[in-house]
Structure 1
Amino acid sequence: MARREVGDAGELIAARWLSAHGRKVLYRNYRGGNRGEVDIVARHRDVLTFVEVKSRTSTGFGRPADAVGPDKQRLIQRGAMDWLRLLGRPAIKFRFDIAEVILIEGELPRIHIIENAFQMPDNSLAGR
């Protein structure tokens, strides 16, 4: 599978898993006006979740979540802030999750959700 196909398949699997486990998927592949991006925006009870999906075809290079470093986190945070501005509800509860999807040929996909995988820096909240 090509890299883009792995990513697309992982996002679809993650969205289906989230829906099947009590989350309401609101949007996929959100691109904000401030160069931000969020793979999946979902609601989990009373919390808005911004989910980054990382998919791999093997576990030989570490966990997929390891690829969500500070630069990627900033992109996701910018996308989240854009989404919150669109809502006009800056006081809403939200969090950042990572969905790890392992797609090994001949096996069922494995998915692991890391809730509250990272936080918004305190100084970023003032600009909401």
Structure 2
Amino acid sequence: MKGYNKAIGNYGEDLAISYLKEKKYHVLIHSFKCKQGEVDIIAKTHDIICFIEVKSRFSRLYGAPMESITYSKRNRIINTAKYYLYINNIKNCNVRFDVMELLLNNTNNCCKINHIIDAFR
């Protein structure tokens, strides 16, 4: 089951990256990992660095994808972002934390993407 969930997550992240590129975002890193945690996508639009969490689901049976991002998960993402900014010596920049919800369809390749801009602080 873990491998299946990972495959769904990877597929969702690939779709999210394609979506972001269509919207003229510059994707800096896909899957940034460190001791503090992981950020699925780090992208830049205009003068804003966006740390993006991607949540892919086949149904809303267990709630909206956004609802699975707990307080502790948000803190891990924020701390990972701080570390990314520190190691890349990025100062005095605008940052935001987005969430991309992808509702996949198991009968065809369609999916619904909900890009929640500035989802948390």
Q: Normalising by structure 1, what TM-score?
A: 0.87
Q: Following the alignment from structure 2 to structure 1, what is the Cα–Cα distance between the partners of residues 25 and 15? A: 13
Task: Return 5+ residue gaps in structure 2 as ranges.
Answer: none
Q: Following the alignment from structure 1 to structure 2, what is the Cα–Cα distance between the partners of residues 58 and 24? A: 30
Q: Following the alignment from structure 1 to structure 2, what is the Cα–Cα distance between the partners of residues 52 and 58? A: 18
| Aligned positions, number | 118
| Structure 1 residue aligned with 2:37 | 36
Alignment of 1:1-128 (within 5 A): 2-32=4-34, 34-107=35-108, 108-119=110-121
Secondary structure at 2:17 match in 1: helix
Secondary structure at 1:52 match in 2: strand
Secondary structure at 1:89 match in 2: coil
Aligned amino acid, residue 29 of structure 1: S
Secondary structure at 2:26 match in 1: strand
Q: Following the alignment from structure 1 to structure 2, what is the Cα–Cα distance between the partners of residues 40 and 111? A: 15
Divergent runs of 4+, >4 A: none
What is the RMSD computed on CA atoms of the aligned residues?
1.3
Aligned amino acid, residue 29 of structure 2: Y
Q: Is the 8 A contact 1:48 1:93 kept in 2?
A: yes
Q: Normalising by structure 2, what TM-score?
A: 0.92
